[in-house]
Amino acid sequence: MDELQLIRDLFGAPPPPDPDVAAAAKARMSAGGPAVRRRFARAPLAARPKGLLLRLGIPAVAAAAAAAVAAALLVQGAPPVSQEGGGITVFQLPGAAAIGGPAGSARGILLTAARMAAKAAQAAPERYYVTPGTVGNVVRVGPPGDRYLVVEVVGTQDWAATNPRDGSPQLSQARYVQVASPADRAAWRRDGSPRVWKHVGQETSLADPVAATDGWLRPLSAAPGKLAAGSAVYGAQPFIVGNRFLSLRELLALPADPGKLRALLLAGWSADGSVGTATSDLFQMVPSVLEMPVTPAVRSALYKLLASLPGVQSIGPVTDVAGQQGVAVAYTARYSGCGRQINPTSSANPAPLFPSCAVQQVLIIGPDNGMPLAEELRYTRLPAGQHWSAPDGLFSYEIFGTPYWTNHDRPLP
């Protein structure tokens, strides 16, 4: 059975964006620009390369030439209209998390995606390869004894330069904050309805399974932020695969062999229950490589690699956080030291919120082209007496935009 064809038949083609909404997004883009950044944080924390990255943390203005492409990013996942005249709205998932039963096995879903990927056309390289997206993280804020959860949403984009004289920045732009539930909104009001939380840092990436990210050392703010540069790669190797920086030539020469790709992605990896398993790291790293300009054969091999992983299960037809409809597979495992949050007022490593947890990593695949639509991470079990009020245990997600080549100038600090 072609599981992705089943989803296409079930849902049909998605409607185009409303012209007024798209026009408004383009106007916002002209005024300030979309968020952009590299999906660097997906690599295991212990395996992230050192020495070739520069943390900038300064505002940037996006090029107007990218406005039409970035419009979809700004529209995607827009918050509901507040009924409180500027108050922070309540986060809601668009319908049930799973809107259908399992559509075949996880292996069948992933091998169907592999066949679709193998048939895709290979675009001709241009000056930059751009990967847009939207990231959401649920963090605990508020005074001791009356904590509550908020969802911070950040627009992202990754510009990878093929010319070594061009920089390859990871940029991001804080978009909005919502409280996670009606109970959290009540606690937020008891806290004086703040819009800045000084003891929690601004996050800029999808979390890992223990909820650690590479966020900013600056207080979390509910106000939309300026476009800002994060880590920037300089030189001829802008693509990060596992713990290696690769040039476009090296990326296109990757072996179309699941076993060799597994070894490359896990180079330098060692078992650590506080960070993740080999399967959890592969499950989180592979989607970022799928979005790179690899050959169709390599993209197909990456899906075959996922299909070979133990413990991956089918969820079937789902609606993701942004309302996109696809088919999902998931991996669940237990971890120690869960829920780490950046504290901008302390240089010490943040203490975990929970001594242990079980986390479900969900990969949602588009039925039309087999490309990743989203990743979602959810707590499925916490220690006795602990509670997570975000819907369905969600604590981090990433919505993938459509990557593309362009000869336009990149955003400049």
- Note the pLDDT of residue 346: 76
How much is the pLDDT for 8?
52
Supply the pLDDT for residue 319: 92
pLDDT per residue as tens digits for the range 266-325: 987 776 655 568 899 999 899 999 999 999 999 999 999 999 999 999 999 999 999 999
Residues 19-42: what's their mean pLDDT?
36
Write b or e for each residue in 147-162: b if 16 or more Cβ atoms lie within 10 A of its Cβ, otherwise e. Answer: ebbbbbbbbbbbbbbb
Chain mean pLDDT for the chain: 79
Assess whether pLDDT exceeds 80 at residue 168. yes
Find out whether 152 and 179 touch, Cβ atoms under 8 Å: no
Domains of the chain, residue spans = 3-406
pLDDT higher than threshold 60 for residue 402? yes
Q: What pLDDT does 76 receive? A: 39
* Average pLDDT estimate for 133-154: 95
Band of residue 236 on the pLDDT scale cut at 50, 70, 90: confident
Task: Give the mean model confidence (pLDDT) for residues 379-400.
Answer: 96
CA distance 399 to 381: 24
Strand-pairing partners, residue 149, are: 140
**In this model, does residue 7 exceed pLDDT 70?**
no
Residue 25 belongs to what H/E stretch? Answer: helix 19-31
- Evaluate if residue 202 carries a pLDDT over 80: yes
Query: pLDDT at residue 147 above 60?
Result: yes
- Higher model confidence: residue 358 or residue 33? 358
- Mapped onto helix, strand or coil, the DSSP state of residue 277 is coil
- By C-alpha distance, which of 85, 96, 79 is closest to 150? 79
Q: What is the mean pLDDT of residues 394-398?
A: 96
pLDDT tier, 217 (very low <50, low <70, confident <90, very high otherwise)? confident
Q: Is the pLDDT of residue 102 over 90?
A: no
Distance of CA 352 to the CA centre of its chain: 21
- CB burial class (10 A; 0-12, 13-18, 19+) of residue 345? exposed
Is the per-residue pLDDT at 411 higher than 80? no
CA dihedral (364, 370, 372, 377) in degrees, to 10, reads 20
Q: What is the mean pLDDT of residues 338-359?
A: 85
| pLDDT of 207 higher than 70 | yes
How much is the pLDDT for 6? Answer: 54
Pairwise pLDDT comparison (203 vs 33), residue with the higher score = 203
First-to-last C-alpha distance (Å) of the chain: 49
Closest CA to 152 of 396, 399, 403, 363: 396
Please report, rounded to a whole number, the percentage of residues in the chain having pLDDT higher than 90.
55
